[in-house]
Amino acid sequence: MAETEAALRALARNVRAARTRAGLSLDELGRRAQVSKGALVALEKAQGNPNFATLVRLADTLGVSVSALLEGSAEGRVRVVAAGDLTPLWTGPRGSEARLMLTTQGPAPVEVWRWTLEPGEEYPSHPHQAGVVETVSVTSGRMTLIVDGVEHLVEAGRTAAFDGDVPHTYRGAGTGTCHLIMTVHLPPGPGSPS
């Protein structure tokens, strides 16, 4: 329980700081991110339990990575992360899951995700901000990647890249579990050197 409270406090602190840096009121952030003002007030008070889609919309609106909203203070120059130590940010009813492993630092951060997709289970994602590029590298099994309504089969040993500013969906394909690494390449934030 203490870990959950610490994570909510870090999220509250990081959302408030990013909103302040962006010069947005709670009303304006809520309008842009399609999140109610009440939910934002609760979030900034370290209350509630925002879902994965809400975190993605807030991160996109604030021009930061999801992990920038979640992480505590920096721990040093090298970070080693074990997948089993991280709570899934999305789980499907059949056992699929997505875990945010880490986000690189710098003006154009990259999020590294570990996903498992069960056959037929899918995660539909809303379009991200302009300039976001995603890659999916399937390490075992197979998946169907749907980008802007077009299906692409991605099998083990293959990687796909696409602009994330259009609707996209990840779906498990075949008869076994699909394991993949997804990266989300974020554009430089405001004030970053080009």
Pairing of strands 122-125, 168-173: antiparallel
Give the contacts of 134 (CB within 8 A, at least 6 positions apart): 128, 161, 162, 164, 168, 182, 183, 184, 185
* Burial readout 56-77 (b: 16 or more C-beta within 10 A, e: otherwise): bbbbbbbbbbbbbbbbeeeeee
Please tell me the distance from the alpha carbon of residue 128 to that of residue 154, in angstroms, as a whole number.
21
Length of the chain in terms of residues written? 194
pTM exceeding 0.75: no
Q: DSSP letters along the chain, please?
A: -HHHHHHHHHHHHHHHHHHHHHT--HHHHHHHHT--HHHHHHHHTT-S---HHHHHHHHHHHTS-HHHHH--S---S-----GGGS--SEE-TTS-EEEEEEE--SSS-EEEEEEEE-BT-EEEE----TT-EEEEEEEESEEEEEETTEEEEEETT-EEEEESSS-EEEEEESSS-EEEEEEEEPPPPTT---
Please tell me the distance from the alpha carbon of residue 104 to that of residue 67, in angstroms, as a whole number.
9
Residue 36's alpha-carbon distances to 23, 29, 31, 155, in angstroms, are 18, 9, 8, 39
pLDDT at residue number 46: 83
pLDDT at residue number 78: 67
pLDDT < 50 regions, the chain: 1, 191-194
pLDDT at residue number 41: 87
pLDDT, tens only, 103-122: 887 778 889 999 999 999 99
pLDDT, tens only, 2-32: 566 777 787 888 888 888 887 888 888 888 8
